[in-house]
Structure 1
Amino acid sequence: MTTAPSHGPSIAHRLGRAMLYLFLVIAGAALLVPFFWMVMSSLKQPSAVFSVPVRWIPEVFDWSNYQELWSATGILTWIRNSLFLAVTVTLLQTLTASFAAYGFARIRFPGRDVLFLAYIGTIAVPWQSYMIPQFIILSNLKLSNTFWSVIVLQAFTAFGVFLMKQYYETIPEELSEAARLDGLSEYGIWRRIMLPLAVPAIASLVLLTFVQTWNDYLGPLLYLRNPDLWTLPLGLQGMASNLFDTNYSLLFAGLTISVLPIAIVFLLGQKYFVEGMATSGMKG
């Protein structure tokens, strides 16, 4: 008498899966522990931040750190400046990258592939190698110490073009051909067909660009010397510049606030971000 073969997962498979989940839980906890400590430190008295032994949860939650942060610092101005730059740069990069990527993906012209490779090759060139010539050029154009200096430098992105082109190439060419037969221009094809179908890639580009611009420190440090133009990273660095008088509870409160917009944007676009990165060939 023969027994029917079992089609369920084997013990070794279940054990391997359980070990994988355990590893992911430990890795996730390791990533969240510093963030948890930062949030808890923002609710402590300054003398209790670096207490020995470490107190992960304060005995008394001190919310006055946030009140003092809003009243005694220029954090509202820093947030407004960071938000203005992040939103403006994100909109411009999304527009320019999606439009240029359509040209590289759908329009055939002499030297297209060579030009694309040359443009993408600029990703490998570190910004530090040409930031001095850029600074001289922008200073001569009277753009230094204005928001325009940061906006002009970050309005175009080779990585965004690459990301959008990879996604455009997953869209069937037959849709563009049918639109051309119906008399739709290339601009109309890009706006009415490609953009609606490329929402996941656009969401990925928006998220990456917003996070990068929001956290950017070196660019604003070089070009925004007026304290009224400081972004949030510059303002927080100014708070921490005096090592002897730094109120670390206040500083951690500012860091906690700086993380919130990124967390909100990521949670809102997480579904599209994962889908866009996977479909664009950026996974793994």
Structure 2
Amino acid sequence: MRDRGILSASDLQKPLNKIVYAFMVLCIAVMAFTMLYPIAMTMFNGLKSTQEINSFPPRFFPTEWHWDNFPKGWNYIDLPLFLKNTLMIFAGNLVVTIMVLGLAAFSISRIKVPFHRAIYFFILMTLFIPASSYMIPSFVNLKELGLLNTYWAFWLPAGANAYFFLLIKNFFDGIHPEIFEAARIDGASELSSYTRIAIPLSIPIFATLAIFIFSTAWNDWFWPSLVMQTQDKYTLATAIYKYVINARNLDGSTRFTILFMVMIPPIFVFLVFQKFIMRSVSLGAVKG
């Protein structure tokens, strides 16, 4: 059965509805154009010569297609190294989210630890603290612990993400408690209930959080440039900012090819996991 919109075929025949419908389609087309235009412009500029990029009036399509610009951009910086660092941060943050935040949310939601309401509201209050206010204390703590220039500078703070904690707790609240009660009757421990029941049932929320974590690891450049002090530890975003965006002697075609290659992976991640992204819209509402 085909999904039906809010307007039927007969409703669309009314003049006013036609005007409103056409205006909505126009808004969607403008929004799609503004989103796709920068990506297309970056790709086509990467296929132009440097002289054509700087020419006036500018052209959208290149007059000559310089496919050799992509090997030049790939070899300009060590993209595989920076990609590996980014994926290491993503994988560690995901594991910490599942093991630390997941266990904490399970304890508050299902085990009902002492003072669980006070703990829950305390974590909820931390959402109203600006991130810039605890950035310096976090840096000082990591420095005192000797964790600067290591992946733990990302993995350790990942275990204190209040927003992810609340999303996981809300999901656990929606799981029927009879499942865990049956497991306890069969002799399962709380840890066993979490690993064998809660985690398999929570694949949607963890997949959604994986998208959030990947987006943060891929796009964030300020915090990695602050805690990673050697080139071999830079993330992809930090390397792009330092060696591509701020480079003065880099020709424009190579710059655009690098930027376009960095744009591609997040687009594929969105296309593959878009159903989880849509699900995250409904999970974003935090219940009390």
Q: Secondary structure at the match of 1:51?
A: coil
More displaced 10-residue stretch of structure 1: 17-26 or 165-174: 17-26
Aligned to 1:259: 263
Answer yes or no: is the 8 Å Cα contact 2:46–2:256 preserved in 1: yes
Q: Secondary structure at the match of 2:229?
A: coil
CA distance in 1, matches of 2:136, 2:280: 35
Aligned to 1:186: 190
Which whole-Å deviations, capped at 9, do the CAs of 1:179-207 have from their partners, x for residues lacking one? 33333322232223222222221111000
Aligned to 2:146: 142
Aligned mate of 1:64, from 64, 68, 78: 68
CA distance in 1, matches of 2:240, 2:263: 12
- 1:8-23 aligned within 5 A: 8-9=10-11, 11=14, 12-13=16-17, 15-23=19-27
Aligned mate of 1:111, from 110, 115, 125: 115
CA distance in 2, matches of 1:118, 1:84: 31
Aligned mate of 2:273, from 269, 273, 281: 269
Answer yes or no: is the 8 Å Cα contact 2:167–2:283 preserved in 1: no
Percent identity over the alignment is 27
Q: Secondary structure at the match of 1:238?
A: helix
CA distance in 2, matches of 1:25, 1:16: 14
1:236 aligns with 2:252: no
CA distance in 1, matches of 2:140, 2:66: 47
TM-score (norm 1): 0.87
Q: Which AA in structure 2 matches 1:130?
A: Y
- 1:1-284 aligned within 5 A: 8-9=10-11, 11=14, 12-13=16-17, 15-240=19-244, 242=246, 244-279=248-283, 281=285
- Cα displacement (A) at 1:226: 0.6
Q: Which AA in structure 1 matches 2:196?
A: R
Which whole-Å deviations, capped at 9, do the CAs of 1:121-172 have from their partners, x for residues lacking one? 2222223212222222222222212222232223442111111112222222
Which whole-Å deviations, capped at 9, do the CAs of 1:256-282 have from their partners, x for residues lacking one? 222222222222211123124325537
- Classify 1:180/1:71 alpha carbon distance in 2 versus 1 (closer, same or farther; 3 Å): same
CA distance in 2, matches of 1:190, 1:225: 38
Answer yes or no: is the 8 Å Cα contact 2:101–2:159 preserved in 1: no
- Consecutive unaligned residues of structure 1, counting only runs of 5 or more, are 1-5
Q: Which AA in structure 2 matches 1:162?
A: L
Q: What is the CA RMSD across the aligned residues, in angstroms?
A: 2.4
- Consecutive unaligned residues of structure 2, counting only runs of 5 or more, are 1-7
Answer yes or no: is the 8 Å Cα contact 1:98–1:160 preserved in 2: no
- Cα displacement (A) at 1:109: 2.8
CA distance in 1, matches of 2:159, 2:50: 41
Answer yes or no: is the 8 Å Cα contact 1:204–1:277 preserved in 2: no
Q: Which AA in structure 2 matches 1:195?
A: I
CA distance in 2, matches of 1:100, 1:248: 49
Which whole-Å deviations, capped at 9, do the CAs of 1:2-57 have from their partners, x for residues lacking one? xxxx9943524455344323322221221111121112222221222243222111
Which whole-Å deviations, capped at 9, do the CAs of 1:49-93 have from their partners, x for residues lacking one? 243222111112212222112223222221221122222222322
- Cα displacement (A) at 1:113: 1.6
- Cα displacement (A) at 1:210: 0.9
